Amino acid sequence: MINKDFFQALDILEKERRINKEALIEAIEAGLASAYKKEYGESRGIAVRLNPEKFTIKVYAYREVVEEITEKDKQILLEEAQEIDPSYKAGSIITEDVTPKNFTRIAAQTAKQVIIQRLNDLKKDMVLSEMSDREGEIMTAVVRRKEGDTYYVEMTNTQLEGVLMASDQIASENFHVGDSVRVYVKKIRNMGKTTQVVVSRSSAGFVRRLFELEVPEIGAGLVLIKAIVREPGYRTKMAVYSEDINVDAVGACIGNKGTRINAIVDELNGEKIDIILWSENQEEFVSRALSPAKPEFVKISEDGRVAKAVVPDDKLSLAIGKSGQNARLAAKLTNVKIDVKSYSAFVESGIAEANSESENEQRDVASDIATDGEE
């Protein structure tokens, strides 16, 4: 009924498209069973069997032998079954070959539909698997449309749709249909019939991957990114470190005459990037994190959660940053709450504290004298 060429085609699909032939045959059999029931109005259970060795297809109607009927079309009473063959027992399956002579056309059409669907499913699964491996990577995409504040992009070489939501955009950027843009793959969303890629340009991971791609020492593991925080479009702070004393971790990220960091700044449309040498000494790390300001000194609380940083008077605004941005990022980078004070304010608070202590001492003395007089 189905010729030899058909089964040979299944062999080719298995080899070239890596489709499991047994699974494909099962899918075709299920599709043919459904097609047969629809074409012939059959209410009984239908099973279709393809035989690759004999290049044949058979259609069987079946009923289960039961002692009490619950599904009239799919069951037969034990007594009736034993009239056909005394060896039948409850639970036995009675089959009947109902293969029609003119089933070839239906079989061919159904098989074609099943194969096309399987190929589409396979392609989808392969792309999904490939894209799942690309989570956390940077890819190139082409802007296809914009709806509201959301851009929809096509991931290059995948035909998958990427979604660049407003929260994942850099505020200063504006794209047009057809623009090519680099994006960071945040996650893959399987939405049933479609697969959607959530991408970002505002994620700190985007900057991390840019440095990993731009700086060979990071890619080789000679320089480690210990922490990175970001306010997209404005400033990024990144702490780096190398266990090799001969490797300048900060210099490696900046590059000769700033070539490496400038390439990344250009990709981020001028976003400022502070490269900070990580230190296990909290006071030293906090001091460096406040870059470009240089504190006079930093004092960490006993529990290690709060830092008091004193900076020159003319560097206070630089240390705090616009709307507190620099101090805020430094606190996130070091995981320490930072209280930034100017040197004069620190001195004044020290004098005030000393005067307060002196007044308290005077009150204590006066109280002691008064107590002595009462005695």
Q: Which residues contact 161 (CB under 8 A, 6 or more apart)?
A: 144, 152, 153, 154, 155, 194, 196, 197
Which is nearest to 206 in space by CA: 189, 188, 183?
183
Please give the Cα distance from 202 to 168 (Å, whole number): 5
The pLDDT value recorded for residue 156 is 85
pTM of the model: 0.65
Q: For residue 68, report the phi and psi dihedrals to the nearest 5 degrees.
A: -145, 130
pLDDT (mean) for 132-143 = 88
pLDDT (mean) for 133-149 = 91
pLDDT at 330 over 60: yes
Token pair 């930072």 is at which residue? 338
The pLDDT value recorded for residue 366 is 42
pLDDT at 327 over 80: yes
Q: For residue 37, report the phi and psi dihedrals to the nearest 5 degrees.
A: -65, -35
pLDDT in tens, 58-102: 889 888 999 888 888 888 899 988 988 889 999 898 888 888 877
pLDDT in tens, 188-212: 877 666 677 899 999 999 999 999 9
Which is nearest to 315 in space by CA: 333, 331, 291?
291
The pLDDT value recorded for residue 116 is 78
CA atoms lying within 13 Å on the CB side of residue 358: 6
CATH architecture of 4-130: 2-Layer Sandwich (3.30)
Please give the Cα distance from 302 to 74 (Å, whole number): 79
Across 352-371, b (16+ Cβ under 10 Å) vs e yields: eeeeeeeeeeeeeeeeeeee
The tokens describing 110, both together, are 């159904």
Please give the Cα distance from 274 to 292 (Å, whole number): 8
CATH architecture of 282-375: 2-Layer Sandwich (3.30)
pLDDT (mean) for 284-312 = 93
Please give the Cα distance from 95 to 29 (Å, whole number): 16
The pLDDT value recorded for residue 28 is 83
> What is the secondary structure of 123-176 as a DSSP string?
HHHHHHHHHHTTTT-EEEEEEEEEETTEEEEEETTT--EEEE-GGGS-TT----
Token pair 């109607």 is at which residue? 61
Under 8 Å between Cβ of 202 and 169 = yes
The tokens describing 161, both together, are 């749709």
Domain boundaries, the chain: 4-130, 134-200, 282-375
Domain range 134-200, its CATH number among 3.40.50.2300, 3.20.20.70, 2.40.50.140, 3.30.420.130: 2.40.50.140
The pLDDT value recorded for residue 357 is 47
pLDDT at 170 over 70: yes
**Distance from CA of residue 86 to its chain's centroid?**
63
pLDDT (mean) for 267-295 = 95
The tokens describing 263, both together, are 């390439």
